Amino acid sequence: HGERSPTHFSNNDPFKDPKYWVEGLGELTTKGKYRMYKLGEFIRQEYNQYLGDKYSPREVYVRSSIVERCIESTSSLLAGAYPPKQKDWEWNNGTDAQLGLVWQPFPIQTFMPVENDTVCYTWTLEKEKHIVDQLLEPILISTRYYWDSRLIQRLTAGGL
C-alpha cells in the first residue's frame, strides 16, 4: 500500500496527537493515495499491450486484504491504471455526475486476516508445513524457471 500515517509515536513527538492525522492513525495519507494513483498510471503505460484497451471484469481480478488502507491503495492504483478513457466506460449517463468521466469503479475482493481466515487456512504445525513445503517446492521451482527463462529470452531478443 501507499504511504500511511504513523501508528506509534515517541513520548516527546509533537505530532502524536491524532488531530494532526485526519485520515486516522495507520491509514493511507493523501500522498499515499496520489502515489498509488501515479503507480497505476505507470503500470498502464508500461503494460498497456498486456492490459488491453478495455476493462473487463472477466479478465481482471483484484484482491486486497480487508484493511482499509490496503483497499484504498488498491482503489487508487486501479483508478490510475483503468481511467474511463472510452465512451463505453463512462458511467455518468448524460447526468451531471462528472466523476463518471474521470473515475472507473472497480470491484476489489477482500479476505479476512490470516488469524481469522478459515478459507485460506495457514499451517500452524511445523511438521505439516514441512510436508506441504516439500510437495510444493518442485512446482515453485519449475514455475520460477519457466518465467525466468521467458524473461531471459525476451531480454536477449530485445523484446522489452
If asked whether residues 30 and 89 sit together in one domain, one would say yes
Sign of CA pseudo-dihedral 93, 99, 105, 111:
negative
Please count the structural domains in the chain.
Answer: 2
Name the 3-class secondary structure at 142. Answer: helix
Q: Could you tell me which of 76, 61, 60 has the C-alpha nearest to residue 28? A: 76
If asked whether residues 104 and 32 sit together in one domain, one would say yes
pLDDT in tens, 100-111: 667 777 888 886
Residue 134 sits at φ, ψ, to 5 deg, of -65, -40
If asked whether residues 58 and 137 sit together in one domain, one would say no
If asked whether residues 20 and 88 sit together in one domain, one would say yes
pLDDT at 121 over 70: no
If asked whether residues 82 and 135 sit together in one domain, one would say no
If asked whether residues 62 and 86 sit together in one domain, one would say yes
If asked whether residues 100 and 62 sit together in one domain, one would say yes
Enclosing domain of residue 93: 1-114
Q: How far apart are CA 159 and CA 2, in angstroms?
A: 31
Q: Residue 15 in contact with residue 9, Cβ under 8 Å?
A: yes
If asked whether residues 74 and 8 sit together in one domain, one would say yes
If asked whether residues 41 and 79 sit together in one domain, one would say yes
What mean pLDDT comes out for the span 11-32? 88
If asked whether residues 88 and 156 sit together in one domain, one would say no
Q: Which CATH number fits the domain that encloses residue 67?
A: 3.40.50.1240
Whole-number Cα distances in Å, 105 to 56, 57, 84: 12, 11, 9
Compute the C-alpha angle 142/147/150, nearest 5°. 120
pLDDT at 37 over 90: yes
Distance, C-alpha 149 to centroid of its chain: 26
Taking the model in full, what pTM does it have? Answer: 0.63
